[in-house]
Chain A
């Protein structure tokens, strides 16, 4: 009884913090305290968090290296834009279409490729991501390589913020459950997992589809904030961007992915005028993290209340 009461208080406290954070930024935007520069970076940050957390579900927790995340983002972006700009539907329909289309793409690509292992899977997903891009370049309906311009700005702070929170919640809830343990067992030892009754193919596909779905969501949000999308935006360098965040944060740590996404967004903003240096830094991050700290900043640990208590000397 005592324990469940404690849980409730904690739960309410957490909701309060999330709402307070939301309200504070909302106030800052309406009061004009955040200029366009900060709003753009804030949006990039939230989108990057969605991308990193969802890719980490595939690469970190399931242990299946995917290099095609930008492809799913593209599917989401284009689906949403077709709904809102070409068919005149509301943004909500656009977002749903983005998630559904990306999830379907994830399923179609995942079922055949997830039979492959390790580096072969990585290359196959990279190839699929590039095929999505090339196909988009050849569809006249969405203007081919020129892309779609003048997309209305529908990604407001509430949509963005709560999309990000939902993504994190779904991934965290999924991982901390029997289904999540099944997913992680695939990473640990696929053969042993299969012999302990886990349908490994099924859980690989589930993780892949959910990851793809949120990449689609990120694509929809991206398209409706930055006015323009073209196939080139979603090439494999974009997938590598997301990979850098996941690797830096630690394969298999959601909090790590979030922290790394924030850091990388800030780094990108700071080095906006020096794109080459930014990419050199990305490259060095990948190499140095793999050599000296392959588990990333956080390893597969989460930064949670327990960590907080330990660091600040709190007692249970």
Chain B
């Protein structure tokens, strides 16, 4: 402390202070980026599902939780490395997402959006408490051995290998997703169904199959995010999906729900905003900020940053 202060008593004190403030700012930005990458991955699933069947998949955050647990057991029981754990989690959750859609959401496709939302809330509670029932409510510590922490110091910025791992894998997944949506036949089918389902049917697109694939991809992304949350916070528990799920939903709404690039931008904005609020303000209000943002968007521009307004037809 004393030496630190002594060091600061140099001629360029003022300058140094400014640099420190700048560093602090950039440091928060870096911290926010990895959190934002996680939110963006979850938000993608929300937005894809909403785009295709107009359903807020309330259980999406809980699919992320299941992904985290699959990753956890893959490391502790099977002894895989983190990348394999992530792949296992993604496969497991892709299957889970397809099953959930088939069992719970498909029978409701003709009914009101409210009914579908209530079912999704039910599915969310089911996943949470089934996990508690099977594995107990205690939180589990993500094994450190799977991911030994390394810290790098670049120009005064503290960057960990966790941050790098999260951001790099998130970006890779997003590029793959963009490729699927833009370049493949499946992606074209997904876009067609989300624009006009009936016309898509007439063009020979299997709507059921396309919706299943959308759930599979969205859930796989959530699972990857789940493993990242495990790495980021070190602990996982059966209710861990609720808050990140809600925040990712806010991110999806912020970017304009149904719009894929919007969800990515929204996710990063939410992550950075959150680290700034807990860094500079009170961490107690960290969660309230997300909800405040949500209400502001819903009241000012419910279609989100990238959305277009559409009127109701009479």
A binds B: yes
Residue of A nearest to B132 (CB): A276
Once bound together, how far apart are the Cα atoms of A283 and B127, in whole Å? 9
Residue of A nearest to B250 (CB): A127
Q: Are A138 and B282 in contact (CB under 8 A)?
A: yes
Q: Are B56 and A137 in contact (CB under 8 A)?
A: no
Q: Are B288 and A135 in contact (CB under 8 A)?
A: yes
Stretch at the interface among B9-17, B115-123, B216-224: B115-123
Once bound together, how far apart are the Cα atoms of A183 and B212, in whole Å? 39
Decide yes or no whether A41 CB sits under 8 A from chain B. Answer: no
Q: Are A119 and B125 in contact (CB under 8 A)?
A: no
Residue of A nearest to B243 (CB): A130
Instruction: Enumerate chain B residues within 8 angstroms of A27, measured Cβ to Cβ.
Output: none
Instruction: Enumerate chain B residues within 8 angstroms of A131, measured Cβ to Cβ.
Output: 288, 291-292, 295
Stretch at the interface among A90-98, A261-269, A284-292, A302-310: A284-292
B contact patch SS: helix
Decide yes or no whether B196 CB sits under 8 A from chain A. Answer: no
Residue of B nearest to A137 (CB): B284
Decide yes or no whether A196 CB sits under 8 A from chain B. Answer: no
Residue of A nearest to B133 (CB): A276
Q: Are B287 and A130 in contact (CB under 8 A)?
A: yes
Indicate the size class of the contact surface on chain B.
35 or more
**Known contacts A130-B288, A131-B291, A283-B129, A119 near B114 by CB under 8 Å:** yes
Q: Are A280 and B111 in contact (CB under 8 A)?
A: no
**Contacting residues of chain A (228-286) with chain B, CB-CB under 8 angstroms:** 240, 243, 247, 276-277, 279-280, 282-286
Decide yes or no whether A166 CB sits under 8 A from chain B. Answer: no
Q: Are B113 and A134 in contact (CB under 8 A)?
A: no
Q: Are A290 and B298 in contact (CB under 8 A)?
A: no
Instruction: Enumerate chain A residues within 8 angstroms of B163, measured Cβ to Cβ.
Output: none
Task: With a 10 A CB-CB cut-off, give which of A120, A127, A130, A135 has the most chain B CB atoms.
Answer: A127
Decide yes or no whether A113 CB sits under 8 A from chain B. Answer: yes
Q: Are A65 and B114 in contact (CB under 8 A)?
A: yes
**Known contacts A123-B249, A283-B126, A294-B111, A138 near B284 by CB under 8 Å:** yes
**CB proximity of B282 to chain A, nearest CB, Å:** 7
Q: Are A191 and B312 in contact (CB under 8 A)?
A: yes
Decide yes or no whether A170 CB sits under 8 A from chain B. Answer: no
**CB proximity of A84 to chain B, nearest CB, Å:** 27
Decide yes or no whether A122 CB sits under 8 A from chain B. Answer: yes
Instruction: Enumerate chain B residues within 8 angstroms of A282, measured Cβ to Cβ.
Output: 122, 125
**CB proximity of A164 to chain B, nearest CB, Å:** 26
Q: Are B129 and A280 in contact (CB under 8 A)?
A: yes
Q: Which of A65, A119, A290 contacts B108 (CB 8 A)?
A: A290
Q: Are A134 and B284 in contact (CB under 8 A)?
A: yes
Q: Which of A120, A247, A287 contacts B298 (CB 8 A)?
A: A120
**Known contacts A122-B117, A134-B284, A284-B122, A291 near B302 by CB under 8 Å:** no
Instruction: Enumerate chain B residues within 8 angstroms of A130, measured Cβ to Cβ.
Output: 287-288, 291
Q: Are B126 and A119 in contact (CB under 8 A)?
A: no
Residue of B nearest to A127 (CB): B291
Instruction: Enumerate chain B residues within 8 angstroms of A122, measured Cβ to Cβ.
Output: 56, 114, 117
**CB proximity of B177 to chain A, nearest CB, Å:** 24
Instruction: Enumerate chain B residues within 8 angstroms of A291, measured Cβ to Cβ.
Output: 104, 107-108, 119
Decide yes or no whether A169 CB sits under 8 A from chain B. Answer: no
Q: Which residues of B contact A (CB under 8 A)?
A: 55-56, 104, 107-108, 111-119, 121-126, 128-130, 132-133, 137, 249, 253, 282, 284-285, 287-288, 291-292, 294-295, 298-299, 302, 312, 314
List 19 other contacts, CB 8 Å, given A119-B117, A286-B125: A65-B117, A118-B114, A119-B56, A120-B302, A124-B294, A124-B295, A124-B299, A134-B287, A134-B288, A138-B282, A276-B132, A277-B133, A280-B126, A283-B122, A283-B124, A283-B129, A290-B111, A290-B116, A290-B122
